[in-house]
Amino acid sequence: MANTRPVATPERTFNVQGSAMPVSRREVLKTAGTGFGYLALASLLGQEAARAASEQPKPLAPKAPHFHSKAKRIIFLFMEGAMSQVDTWEYKPQLQKDDGKVGPGGGTLVGSKFKFRQHGKTGTWVSELYPNLAKHVDKLCFLRGLHTDTPAHPQAVMQLHTGTALAQLTRPSMGAWLLYGLGTENQDLPGYVTINPPPNFGGAVNYGTAFLPAHFQGTRINDTGYLPNLKARAPASLQRKQLDLIQAMNRDLAATPGAPDQVEGVIRSYELAFRMQSKVPELLDISKEPRAVLDAYGVTAGPAGSFARQCLMARRLSEAGVRFVEICHGGWDHHANLHKGLIQGCAATDQPAAALLTDLERRGLLEETLVLFGSEFGRMPTAQGPDGRDHNITGYPMWLAGAGVKKGFSYGTTDEYGLKAVEGRMHTTDLHATLLALLGLDHERLTYRYAGRDFRLTDVAGNVVQDIFN
Partner 1 sequence: MLLIPRLMAPIALAVAVAAPAAGAGQAAARADATAVEFFEKKVRPLLAGYCYNCHSANNNSQGGLRVDDRNGLLQGGNGGPAVVPGHPEKSLLIRSVRSTDENLKMPPKVRLSPEQVADLTKWIKDGAAWPEVRVPQGFGKYSAKYDKLRKEHWAWQPLREGKVPPVRDASWPRTSIDRFILAGLEREGLRPVSDADRTTLIRRVTFDLTGLPPTPAEIDAFLDERSTDAYPKLVERLLASPAFGERWGRHWLDVARYGESTGSARNVPYPQSWRYRDCVINALNSDKPYDRFLIEQIAGDLLPAETPRQRDEQRVATGFLALGVKDVNQRFKVRFVMDNIDEQIDTVTRSVLALTASCARCHNHKFDPIPQQDYYALAGIFHSTDLCAGVRNKMGGSGLDYYDNTMLLQVGDAPSRPNPEATEKIARAKKAFEAAKAEFEAIRGKPEGRALAANGQPKQQIARQKMVRLQTELAALTDQAASGRSALGVRDARTIGDTALRIRGEAEKLGPIVPRGFLSVLSVADVPKINPHQSGRLELARWLTSTQNPLTPRVMVNRVWHHLFGAGLVRSVDNFGVTGEVPSHPNLLDHLARQFVRDGWSVKKLVRAVVLSRAYQLGSDVPEANTKRDPANRLVWRHSPRRLSAEEIRDAALAAAGTLDRTRPVGSPVKDLRVMELADNGPQAKKLAEQARASRHRSVYLPLLRGLVPTSLEVFDAVEQGMATGNRDATTVAPQALYLLNDPFVWQQSLALAERLFKRKDLDDTGRIEAAYCLTLGRSATPKEVERVKAYLAEYELAARAEADLKTTPWASFCQALLGCAEFRYLK
Site for partner 1 in 236-275 (CB under 8 A): 237-239, 241-243, 245-246, 248-250, 252-254, 257-260, 262-263, 265-270, 272-274
Our finding on whether 106 is near partner 1 (CB under 8 A) is yes
Our finding on whether 331 is near partner 1 (CB under 8 A) is no
Return the number of other C-beta atoms located less than 10 Å from residue 154's C-beta: 16
Of the candidates 43, 84, 184, 382, which one interacts with partner 1 according to CB under 8 A?
382
> Smaller CB distance to partner 1: residue 337 or 358?
337
Our finding on whether 115 is near partner 1 (CB under 8 A) is no
Our finding on whether 336 is near partner 1 (CB under 8 A) is yes
Q: How far is the CB of 313 from partner 1 (least distance, A)?
A: 18
Class of residue 214 by CB neighbours under 10 A (exposed 0-12, middle 13-18, buried 19+): exposed
Q: What is the DSSP letter of 103?
A: P
Site for partner 1 in 393-432 (CB under 8 A): 393-394
- Tell which residue, 377, 372, 370, has the closest CA to residue 421: 377
Q: How far is the CB of 287 from partner 1 (least distance, A)?
A: 23
What residue type is assigned to position 248 of the chain? A
What residue type is assigned to position 115 of the chain? K
Q: How far is the CB of 182 from partner 1 (least distance, A)?
A: 17
Helix and strand numbers (H, E) in the chain are 12, 17
Contacts of 228 (CB under 8 A, 6+ apart): none
Site for partner 1 in 438-467 (CB under 8 A): 451-453
Q: Rounded distance, CA 135 to CA 295, Å?
A: 18
Cα–Cα–Cα angle for 321, 313, 234, nearest 5°?
A: 85
Q: How far is the CB of 275 from partner 1 (least distance, A)?
A: 9
Among 167-175, 431-439, 440-448, 462-470, which window interacts with partner 1 (CB under 8 A)? 167-175
> Smaller CB distance to partner 1: residue 9 or 300?
9
With residue 42 as reference, give the H or E element that holds it. helix 41-54
> Smaller CB distance to partner 1: residue 203 or 408?
203
> Smaller CB distance to partner 1: residue 204 or 320?
204
Of the candidates 120, 151, 281, 321, which one interacts with partner 1 according to CB under 8 A?
151
CB 462 within 8 A of CB 428: no
Q: Rounded distance, CA 468 to CA 227, Å?
A: 37
Strand 448-450 and strand 421-423: the pairing is unpaired
Q: How far is the CB of 421 from partner 1 (least distance, A)?
A: 12
Site for partner 1 in 120-149 (CB under 8 A): none
Locate all alpha helices (DSSP H) within 140-262, ordered by sequence. Answer: 153-162, 174-182, 236-255
Site for partner 1 in 25-84 (CB under 8 A): 35-36, 38-39, 41, 44-45, 48-49, 51-52
> Smaller CB distance to partner 1: residue 93 or 105?
105
What residue type is assigned to position 9 of the chain? T
Q: How far is the CB of 203 from partner 1 (least distance, A)?
A: 4
Our finding on whether 2 is near partner 1 (CB under 8 A) is no
CB 44 within 8 A of CB 74: no
Q: How far is the CB of 427 from partner 1 (least distance, A)?
A: 12
> Smaller CB distance to partner 1: residue 235 or 364?
235
Q: Which residues pair with 448 in a beta bridge?
A: 455
Of the candidates 199, 290, 302, 364, which one interacts with partner 1 according to CB under 8 A?
199
Sign (positive or negative) of CA dihedral 128, 133, 139, 143: negative
Our finding on whether 390 is near partner 1 (CB under 8 A) is yes
CB 364 within 8 A of CB 384: no
Among 132-140, 157-165, 309-317, 396-404, which window interacts with partner 1 (CB under 8 A)? 157-165
Size of the site for partner 1 (CB under 8 A): 108
> Smaller CB distance to partner 1: residue 231 or 288?
231
Class of residue 247 by CB neighbours under 10 A (exposed 0-12, middle 13-18, buried 19+): middle
Of the candidates 204, 320, 343, 422, which one interacts with partner 1 according to CB under 8 A?
204
Q: How far, rounded to the nearest angstrom, does the alpha carbon of residue 23 sit from its chain's CA centroid?
A: 41
Q: How far is the CB of 67 from partner 1 (least distance, A)?
A: 28
Our finding on whether 170 is near partner 1 (CB under 8 A) is yes
